[in-house]
Amino acid sequence: MANISISKLKAMLKEENRPHLLDTDLTGLDLSGMDFSGVTCVKANFSKTSLVRTKFEKAFLSGSNFSGADLNTADFSEATLEKVNFSKANLINATMSRANLTSAKFIQANLKEVSLTFANLTNADLRGADLNAVSFFGANLTGADLTQAKLNKTSFTKAKLDGVKGYKP
């Protein structure tokens, strides 16, 4: 896994052609407020990284690891996040509208007040996650696991819930 400095990463993100980061280790860095929109980061390691108010709009982040990261108010709108690990991450007030979160892991993550409108959460693992006040409006949760998730004031309006575990509409 390749390491990269914050200064080099900032320079890459300013380039007109969005960078492609493969198997990059960004563990524990403070990348708050940076703009990763449109970036390809396959199997990148963002674990325990501070990413407050960071933008990932339309980014391709499949297979990446955000476990234990602080993603408060981050924007993942329309991002591809297949098989991404968000376990024990703080995602309070994040936006994940229209994101592809197929087979993503959110085990014991804090998603309080996250917008997941029209997101694809097919086979997502949300066991023990804090989903209080989350909007799943129009989302696809087919086969998702919500076992022991906190669901106070959570909205499933027009969501697809076929085969969901741990929740009965």
pLDDT value of position 65 = 98
**Maximum Cα interatomic distance, the chain, rounded to a whole number of Å:** 49
Least confident of 2-11, 28-37, 65-74, 152-161: 2-11
| Full-model pTM | 0.94
**What is the tens place of the pLDDT at every residue in 32-64?**
999 999 999 999 999 999 999 999 999 999 999
Distance of CA 70 to the CA centre of its chain: 11
Rounded CA gap, 159 and 169, in Å? 10
**What is the tens place of the pLDDT at every residue in 145-164?**
999 999 999 999 999 999 99
Q: Which residues contact 107 (CB under 8 A, 6 or more apart)?
A: 87, 88, 125, 126, 127, 128, 129
Residue written as token pair 């592809």: 100
CB atoms within 10 A of CB 82: 18
